[in-house]
Amino acid sequence: MKPTAWSGYLEFDQVSFSWPNGVNVINQCSFSILKPGLWMLVGENGSGKSTLFRLINGGIRPKSGKIFCSLRPSMVYQNPDHQLLMPTCKSELMLSVPKTITQTNLLDLIHSALEKVDLGEMLDRPIHTLSGGQKQRLALAGAIVSNSNLLLLDEPTALLDPQSQNSVLKVMKKLTSSSADPITAIWVTHRLEELYFCDGAAIVKNGAISNWNSGSKVFQELKSLALR
């Protein structure tokens, strides 16, 4: 593993993985993320993006190759209703707070996480009254209070209208570029306009990831392929 000034890193070295049918969904995949930021992945349905997340998250193990990760990952799914379990914002976040946090610090931590996702006034708000975008931002707050510093977002805006989509993008941009304690996020998208918000983008194809490029370059590349 290469040493870096930043204490966090994620690196895949020639990683392969197959589900029981034996086909390599992830095939000799190598890439690294060596600094915080908003990193986006695009790729056709079935190209292996969710499988990649499960490998990063430790839910499944590579068949061959190595994964180095010093970060603490959390998943954020497409539909927040599949993720949020409790009746209010406060009770939801209490579920994710590490057991080591004392009772005195608990509310401060929850408040601060809600503020980071622009839900500062929502402590006692019933979750069923939140909009889709607010629910998705609450899911982000859950990852923050759990002390995660690597968010794996699997099409987090696929079910949202443009305004809510922007609210989630804006919050993620803030969390990944905050000067004090920026986190790392890997965001899978099929909504290509989102590429303009990222710090780097790559294409998942045939079980591997392309080099990182600017979001605008990947956008142009995919648009020109679609027009052929």
Chain contacts with ligand ATP (rule: CB under 6 A): 19, 25, 43, 45-51
Q: Min. distance of Cβ 49 from ligand ATP in angstroms?
A: 4
Task: For residue 164, give both structure tokens.
Answer: 């809510």
| DSSP annotation of 212 | -
Q: What is the C-alpha separation between 83 and 76, in angstroms, rounded?
A: 8
Task: For residue 13, give both structure tokens.
Answer: 């070295």
Which C-beta is closer to ligand ATP: that of 25 or that of 172? 25
Q: Min. distance of Cβ 60 from ligand ATP in angstroms?
A: 8
Which C-beta is closer to ligand ATP: that of 34 or that of 192? 192
Q: Min. distance of Cβ 178 from ligand ATP in angstroms?
A: 29
Q: Min. distance of Cβ 210 from ligand ATP in angstroms?
A: 14
Q: Min. distance of Cβ 214 from ligand ATP in angstroms?
A: 22
Which C-beta is closer to ligand ATP: that of 45 or that of 102? 45
Residue carrying the six token digits 């590429």: 195
Q: Min. distance of Cβ 45 from ligand ATP in angstroms?
A: 3
Q: What is the C-alpha separation between 86 and 138, in angstroms, rounded?
A: 11
Which C-beta is closer to ligand ATP: that of 9 or that of 31? 31
Sequence-distant (6+) residues with CB within 8 A of 16 are 24, 26, 27, 28, 29, 62, 63, 64, 65, 207
Which C-beta is closer to ligand ATP: that of 83 or that of 147? 83
| Contact (Cβ atoms closer than 8 angstroms) between residue 70 and residue 204 | no
Which C-beta is closer to ligand ATP: that of 48 or that of 73? 48
Q: What is the C-alpha separation between 166 and 2, in angstroms, rounded?
A: 35
Nearest to 212 by CA among 8, 168, 221: 221
Q: What is the C-alpha separation between 88 and 121, in angstroms, rounded?
A: 12
Query: Can you give the length of the chain in residues?
Result: 228
Q: What is the C-alpha separation between 63 and 51, in angstroms, rounded?
A: 13
